[in-house]
Amino acid sequence: MEDHLTTYSEQLNCKGIRPSYQRVRILAYLHQAQVHPTVEDIFTALSPEIPTLSKATVYNTLHTFVEAGLVRDVNIDIDAQHYDIILEDHGHFKCSSCGKIYNFHLDLDQLTIDGLKEFKIHKKDVYFSGLCPDCQSKTNST
């Protein structure tokens, strides 16, 4: 565990980000959780172990990470911003029933749009929504 934290610390150094305890722990959480946590999720998860942790710090840290390209922001949910540690090309599916966000494989390079030749594209987001398999079976059985 401590080894991992050291690795995260180095990862932050490489990006020119001061590896404070809070930042290392937040980065570690993002890697472990492998979900798409919100600021609230991260705060709730780490708060018991880091009692002095402030929500403002979580906001600051995530902004820093996004700017450094360490994480990706996921705007699929209008209620709150989600964050994703997986940087490879993929799309996001949000179940409108349970709210869970799934990844799906998607080659974004295949998404070349003729009408955007004059545009400089920095970010491509593909968001689907509907019902996940779990929620479909729940609905059918009622």
Partner DNA sequence: GTTCCTGCAAAAGCTTTGCAGAAGA
Partner DNA sequence: TCTTCTGCAAAGCTTTTGCAGGAAC
The residue behind tokens 């929500």 is 55
Binding at 106: pick from a second copy, DNA, none (beta carbon under 5-8 Å per type): a second copy
Q: Residue 35: which residues within 8 A CB-CB, separation 6 or more?
A: 41, 101
Asked whether position 18 contacts a second copy by CB under 8 A, the answer is: no
Q: Which is nearer to a second copy, 61 or 81 (CB)?
A: 81
Chain-centre distance for alpha carbon 111? 22
Question: 128 to each of 69, 74, 123, how far by Cα in Å?
Answer: 23, 12, 16
Position 105 contacts a second copy (CB under 8 A): yes
- Choose the binding region for a second copy from 3-11, 17-25, 27-35, 99-107 (rule: CB under 8 A): 99-107
User: Which span (7-15, 30-38, 40-48, 71-79) binds a second copy, by CB under 8 A?
Assistant: 71-79
Cβ contact 103:86 at 8 Å:
yes
126 binds DNA (CB under 7 A): no
